[in-house]
Amino acid sequence: MNNSLSISILVFVVGLMSIAGCGLNNPPSAPFELEEFSIEDIQNGLRQGDFSIEELVDAYLHRIEEIDQNGASLRSVLHINPDAISIAKELDKEYKAGMSRGPMHGIPVMLKDNLNTGDLMPTTAGSRALEGSLAAQDSYVAMKLREAGAVIIGKTNLSEWANFRGELSSSGWSGLGGQTKNPYVLDRNPCGSSSGSGVAVSANLTVLAIGTETNGSIMCPSHANGIVGIKPTVGLVSRKGVIPISYTQDTPGPMARTVRDAAIGLGVLVGKDPDDEKTMVGEAVFHVDYTQFLDENGLQGKRIGYFDVSEGRNFKVDNLMKEAIKYIESAGATIIPISNIEAPGTGSHSLQVMLYEYKYGLNRYFESLGKEAKVKDLAELIAFNKKDEITLKYHSQKYLELAQEKGGLEEEGYLKALEELIRGSREQGIDRVMNEHELDAIIAPTGSPAWKTDLINGDSFQLGSSSPAAHAGYPNITVPMGRVGPLPVGLSFFGRAWSEPVLLEIAYAFEQGTLHRRVPTFIPSLEDHSVE
C-alpha cells in the first residue's frame, strides 16, 4: 500500500476518534485522501497497489461515520452494509488472481432505500411502516452492480415514499432517517426524493449512488448538491425490486461527481429484463459502454433548444443561464429559444396516472413481502400512519389517500389519462418540438438554489424543468453550471427516447469546458457566511 495513503487513512481514523463527541454542525476534522476520486482514479490506485479494495471501502465507511453520523450530521445514509468489508475482501482475492470484473470492480456504491437488496440491509422507502423490512432478493439494479464488482456499502435516506405521500413535505425528510442536509450549507434543503443519494455523492461518502425518479427526484438533488445525475429513458433500466410510484414514469439512474463516472454507472445498469416489460420494447437501445460517446467537442454543430419558461423567476439563475448559453454557442452549437413544450393539461393527466399506478404498484409490492410484513396493502399503510406518533408530524398523507380512492388499471379514467399523457408529452410534446426545430437536445436550468429547510411549511421551489422529460419517460441529464454564492445550480439536457448517447456527448462537452463542480465545505448557515 502507498505509504502516503496509509498515513493519511491512519490520520483520518485518529481524527475521527477525536471528534466522536462533537456537536452537529462541526466540519470534518481531517482531510480525506480519496476526496473527489473518480472511478478511473480508484482503478489506477488498485493497479498500482496504492490500496486494496478492503482499505478503500474501510476509508469510505470511516468517512460516513465522521461526516454523516457525527460532524456535519448530514443524515444522508440510512443503512450501512454489515457485509461491506467481507465483500471487499472477496473482490480483493479476485483482483489479485487477475480476475477484474471491469471498471466498477471494487467501487463503493450506495442505493436509495427504495431499491431492494437481498441482504441484511432493510428496504424501507424511509417509512416506519417498513422498518426492518428485508427483501427476499436483490433488485435488478443491485444484481447488476454486484455482477460488475461494485461494493454496495449502504443505502441512502430519501423523502419518505419518494416524496409522493402528502402536502407541505420537506424534501429529504423521512420518518426513519430524519432530515437530510445540504452539504454546501447545512440549513439548506438537498431537494428531491433521491436527496440522500445526491448528498452522499457530493460529500464524498461514496463514489457513485443510485437514485430513482418519477418527476425530478434525480434531477433536483443532483442540481442542488452540485453533481451529475442521469434520468434514463424509462425502460433502459429495469424497475424490478424498486418500491414503485408510477410504472409509466419511474426509473432508477446513476448519480456521480462527473459525467464519465455517471456514464460508467449507466452502462452497468442497463439491459433487458423479462420482469419489466418496458425494457423489452423493440425500439429500446442499450449500450454496454456509454463512455464511448463522451467527446470534448460534442457541442460542435449541435442544434439545441433553450426551454426559457423559467426566465425571469430568479435573475441569479438567469445570469448563470446566459453564461451557459454563451459558452455553448462559443463551442459551436446553435441555440433556439422554445417557450412551450407540452400540450395543455399534461401535468394533470400525469398526476392521475401516478395515483392509479401508485395504488396498484404499492399493493403488489406489499404482497411480495409476505405474511411477516407490518402492512399488507395501501389501506393498512394509511391506517398505520394515522396511529404512528412521528410519521404525520410534519406533513399529511393526502397522495396515499387519493391513490386509495382509485380503482383498477382497467378503469376508463386511468386509460384516458394515460393516453392523454403520452400524446401531450410525446407526440405533441418533446417529439413535436424537436422535429419542428431539428434539435439534437433541449436545455434548461434544472432548478433554483437550495432553499432553507422548513419542516413546517415544506419545500419552496422557485423553478424546475424536469416535467417534460419525466412525463414523456424520456432521458434527462443535469450537470453543474455554476453557483449562487456557495450554492450550486444545475443545467439540464434532455431529448428524445433512447437519446442518451447524444445527451452524454453534449453534457460532457459542457462539463469539460466549464468545470463548475466544487467540493462542499459544510457551511452551517448563510447568515454566518459572506456570500461571494
Q: What is the CA radius of gyration of the chain?
A: 22
Check if 8 is active-site.
no
Scanning 440-482, the segments in alpha helix (DSSP H) are: 467-472
Q: Is 364 helix (H, G, I), strand (E, B) or coil?
A: helix
Element (H, E) at 3: helix 3-18
List the catalytic residue out of 73, 112, 238, 492: 112
Contacts of residue 479, Cβ cutoff 8 Å, sequence gap at least 6: 228, 259, 490, 491, 493, 507, 510, 511, 516
Cβ distance 294 to 324 under 8 Å? no
Q: What span, in angstroms and rounded, lies between the C-alpha atoms of 335 and 60?
A: 42
Q: What span, in angstroms and rounded, lies between the C-alpha atoms of 242 and 245?
A: 9
Element (H, E) at 363: helix 346-368
Cβ distance 172 to 179 under 8 Å? yes
Check if 112 is active-site.
yes
- The CA distances from residue 68 to 19, 188, 526, in Å, are 13, 16, 20
Q: Is 442 helix (H, G, I), strand (E, B) or coil?
A: strand
List the catalytic residue out of 217, 425, 448, 466: 217
List the catalytic residue out of 76, 174, 193, 448: 193
Strand intervals (E) in 187-319: 208-213, 228-231, 251-256, 303-307
Cβ distance 101 to 202 under 8 Å? no
Q: What span, in angstroms and rounded, lies between the C-alpha atoms of 367 and 4?
A: 52
Check if 193 is active-site.
yes
Which residues are paired to 152 by β-bridges? Answer: 109
- Cell 467527446 sits at which residue? 295
Which residues are paired to 174 by β-bridges? Answer: 178
Active-site positions read: 112, 193, 217
